[in-house]
Amino acid sequence: MSVHGPLSSAEAPKGCRRCPRLAGLRKSLRKEHPDWWNAPVPAFGDPDAWLAIIGLAPGKEGAHRTGRPFTGDASGEMLFATLTDFGFVNGTFANDPDDGIALAGAIILNAVKCLPPENKPTGPEITNCRPYLGKALSALPNLQIILALGKVAHDSIIRLSGARLVDHKFSHGAAHQLSDGRTLIDSYHCSRYNVNTGRLTATMFEQVFEQAVYLSSVSRP
């Protein structure tokens, strides 16, 4: 399987071993599913994006299998539906990496690039992967707004900015001004669990995108 991300210079190597536990899981799954992606998942989207969406980590049946963030399982359904409604998607999302879609103005990344057991990366694993996230964000010249899906993504962005977590607490819909002039917006993760339990509704998710569009418009010179 071949996957090419838009930020190749900022990506983790396909055989990355910074996190032994995650590398071991990839190795075991490679034996079970040799046709899966089974590697750090690259970014997907527009390298000239003004909006970056940061998820937690690849899902086993999703990006770890397909090689494209939020693709292959239920986690991407609300995200790509909302991206489509707001005009970021060219083509029709079919939850398959071969559906031929492209993003315009947006890019999707994860705080942790490899599949963690039970979807729960450890603190050191999050820290090990943070430099790749930082390199990716630095490679986006037009980036204005960062949308963090969940607290792990939020904390990673705040730590990269050099700010204190105590001064920037995660809260759905909260906006945080970063030292580099960009704005971080928080959202609950669009996971199947959060959607099924009603913690995150389609309306709530649309509102954070409306907020992103508005803040982008007022920040432009």
Q: Using alpha carbons, select from 192, 220, 205 the residue that is nearest to residue 56.
A: 192
Amino acid in position 100: G
Q: Using alpha carbons, select from 35, 53, 36 the residue that is nearest to residue 44.
A: 53
Strand, coil or helix: 202 = helix
Per-residue pLDDT of the chain (221 residues; tens, 9 = 90+): 555 688 888 899 999 999 999 999 999 999 999 999 999 999 999 999 999 999 999 999 999 999 999 999 999 999 999 999 999 999 999 999 999 999 999 999 999 999 999 999 999 999 999 999 999 999 999 999 999 999 999 999 999 999 999 999 999 999 999 999 999 999 999 999 999 999 999 999 999 999 999 999 986 65
Instruction: List, as one string, the DSSP characters of 120-144.
Output: ---HHHHHHHHHHHHHHHHT-TT--
Angle in degrees, 0-180, between the axes of helices 123-138 and 151-161, rounded to the nearest 10:
60
For the chain, the structural domain boundaries read 8-219
Amino acid in position 207: Q
Q: Could you give the CA distance from residue 10 to residue 64 in angstroms, rounded to a whole number? A: 19
CATH 3.40.470.10 is right for the domain spanning 8-219: yes
Q: Could you give the CA distance from residue 23 to residue 20 in angstroms, rounded to a whole number? A: 5
- Residue 179's alpha-carbon distances to 50, 60, 162, 200, 213, in angstroms, are 17, 35, 8, 29, 20
